[in-house]
Amino acid sequence: MRAYTLTKQAFKTLTALAKNDLKTAKKLKKVIEKLRQDLISGESLQGYSQFKKIRVGKFRLIYTLQDQLLIIAIIEKRETVYQTFEHLFKHSDFLNFD
């Protein structure tokens, strides 16, 4: 099983969902566990081939693998996930790849 980490945004969203929408939070946690075990794979993100996306209800989970570390970059509603991703990608050293 691979190790994983969440960005501040993903952690904050998952924590808020655990308090306000436990059903969705549990679904997201199941998806993360399946990703850790390499049981599922998402669709590549257009323009950012190193990232993949998975639909979980009204939410999208965007992730990447870096040296066998699963990085959960974004957990956000479908309507705003791509704007949030663009902002985080451009303004965070954590997600920059050289």
Angle at 62 between CA 5 and CA 48, to 5 degrees: 115
pLDDT in tens, 63-73: 999 888 999 99
Q: Give the chain's radius of gyration (CA, Å).
A: 13
pLDDT in tens, 56-92: 999 999 999 988 899 999 999 999 998 888 887 787 7
Specify the pTM.
Answer: 0.87
CATH architecture for residues 3-92: 2-Layer Sandwich (3.30)
Q: How many CB atoms lie within 10 A of CB 54?
A: 18
pLDDT at position 6: 94
Q: Give the type of residue at 43.
A: E
> What are the domain boundaries of the chain?
3-92
Closest CA to 46 of 9, 10, 86, 90: 86
Q: How far from 94 is each of 34, 51, 59, 88, CA to CA, in Å? A: 23, 14, 22, 9
